[in-house]
Amino acid sequence: MTPVIMDCTELLRNPIRTGIQRVVRELIRHWPADGPPLHVARFQPGRPARLCPVPASVIDLLTDRDPQALSLSSEQLAALIDHRQGLSEGVALPEKSIIFVPELFYDDQRSVFYQGLAKSGHKDLAILCFDFLPFLAPNLFSLKTAAHLMHYIMAVRSFTHVAHISADTRHDFETRIMRGSAPAGGIVLPLGADGIGVERQSWRADRRGFLVVGSIDGRKNQRLITEAFTTLRSRGHEIDLTIIGRAFENQDLAWLREAERVPGFRWIPNAADSTIAEAYRQVRATIYVSGAEGYGLPPVESLSVGVPVIAPAAMPSLKGLPPLGQIRIDPVGVDTIAEAMLEIMKPGVAERLWTEAARLQLANWRDFGQAAAAWLGERCQPRAAGPKRGRYGSRLSAIRRSDARGPFRPPGAPRDRSSSGPASDPSPAR
């Protein structure tokens, strides 16, 4: 099989454990042993710009095979990654290969590099598209213009093979980015929900806190959540709120500094896995009310460990799932968030939502890794004529049959009959 070079530059620069970086970590970790040989690489600007191999000692940090990674903050981990990359060049990258970029990036030099590869005739360039929101809705990110993002958009347009994390992202790509010039029906590779490394939680009546996980970038509405929390606190409701996530440099954090004076409020900009796990062990529910998402991992990750979630009705990751363990709100605002928080503070409601969350079966990262390998194997490898056979062929066919209806269901898996809504994805025991 033709080897795959996976460009993970952004993960190496900023090795946080949420969002897109979580996706890339899990993809490396769950790449199938019998899939195309995988080589992890980083982009090196210069003359000429090139992809450089990543040493095995760094890959061990990214996949937590090196236990030292588990106790480090993202800044400490980034420093250790830089140190180890300076000690070893890694295994040389193969000349004939599929180049796969599973990241969202706005590095002009990196974008120009991939445009150059495409123009030079490199046919096997593949990318996983997460979203185009900063380009399509810059106001959500406190951006006045998206002109500086055009290099990335042009790079995406030049890739030979394009996959998406949701039907919503695929629709934006076909209608807004390619403007109808690309063939319809690009593949959707649903993300796994089982990556946060927390044991399944159980209901306790003394859980009174709420948890918000995600970077403060202007669109995830942490400010609205905080306003709802402070309003309820001022009315005498004994609840706690923890926000975990770094703040983008362009964000005005005056509201956050003010909230830190309110009893029961915590902001943790850089949390180790152990801190995140402990937060899940204490909370009554999580809240994720982003104004726009390509997918939205935090809601399904919360549900995967049995913790109910408050989320927008239009969240892409929840489409196709029965509304179990969830309070879906529409519209998103201070009042609707506060009402949902009060609702879940009712003991009977909370216990019901926790029971419902335990019934859900969700997509897992193992299937995601195998599906990505299957997609690259089919798109970028020579195939003999005739019907597809073997595990990869059958898995990819199943994805194609199901991606318009909701998350990927492995062949032969049972349906969740607990709801009249679409069934959720089964995942094997971890």
Secondary structure (DSSP) of 137-199: -GGGGT-S--GGGHHHHHHHHH-SEEEESSHHHHHHIIIIISTT-S-S---B-PPPS--S--P
Q: Are the C-beta atoms of 280 and 216 separated by less than 8 Å? A: no
Same domain, 150 and 8: yes
Does the residue 72 lie in any domain? Answer: no
- Report yes or no on 79 lying in a domain: no
CATH at 181: 3.40.50
> The domain that contains 288 carries what CATH number?
3.40.50.2000
- Residue 244 pairs in a beta bridge with 213, 268
Q: Are residues 355 and 367 in the same domain?
A: no
Each of the 430 residues of the chain gets a pLDDT tens digit; together they read 899 999 999 999 999 887 899 899 999 999 999 999 999 999 999 989 999 999 999 999 999 999 999 888 888 999 999 999 988 777 899 989 999 999 998 899 999 999 999 999 998 999 999 999 989 988 887 788 888 889 999 999 999 999 999 999 999 999 999 987 776 668 999 899 998 889 999 999 999 999 999 989 889 999 999 999 999 999 999 999 999 998 988 889 999 999 999 999 999 998 877 888 999 999 999 999 999 999 999 999 999 999 999 999 999 999 989 999 999 999 999 999 999 999 999 999 999 999 999 999 999 999 999 999 999 988 765 544 444 434 434 444 444 444 433 333 333 333 333 333 333 333 333 3
Q: Are 394 and 388 in contact (CB under 8 A)?
A: yes
> Which residue is it, tokens 């040989």?
37
pLDDT of residue 218: 86
Are residue 154 and residue 39 in the same domain, yes or no?
A: yes
Cα 18 from Cα 16, distance rounded (Å): 6
183-210: per-residue pLDDT in tens? 666 899 989 999 888 999 999 999 999 9
Beta bridge partners of 159: none
Residue ending a domain, among 314, 335, 359, is 359
DSSP bridge partners of 278: none
Domain range spanning residue 136? 1-54+90-192+363-430
Q: Is residue 77 part of a domain?
A: no
Domain termination site, one of 359, 379, 409:
359
| pLDDT attached to residue 254 | 95
- Are 251 and 372 in the same domain? no
270 lies in the same domain as 167: no
So what's the pLDDT on residue 397?
A: 43
**Is residue 251 in some structural domain?**
yes
Residues 12, 96 within the same domain: yes
Q: Are both 148 and 188 inside the same structural domain?
A: yes
Count of the separate structural domains present in the chain: 2
Domain match, 116 and 36 both: yes
Residue 352 burial (10 A CB sphere; 0-12, 13-18, 19+): middle
Query: Do 355 and 379 sit in the same domain of this protein?
Result: no
CA distance 362 to 331: 26
Q: CA torsion angle for 140, 142, 147, 151 (degrees, to 10)?
A: -70
Are 122 and 168 part of one and the same domain? yes
Residue 75 domain-assigned (yes or no):
no
Q: Give CA–CA dist 103/20, Å, rounded.
A: 7
Distance CA 245, CA 263 (A): 19
* Contact criterion met (CB below 8 Å) for 322 and 419: yes
354 and 397 fall within a common domain: no
* Span 26-42, pLDDT tens digits: 999 999 999 999 999 99
User: Is residue 167 domain-resident?
Assistant: yes
- Confirm whether 80 is domain-assigned: no
Same domain, yes or no, for 266 and 395?
A: no
Within a domain: residue 62? Answer: no
Among 300, 331, 359, the domain-final residue is 359
Tokens of 97: 């290969």
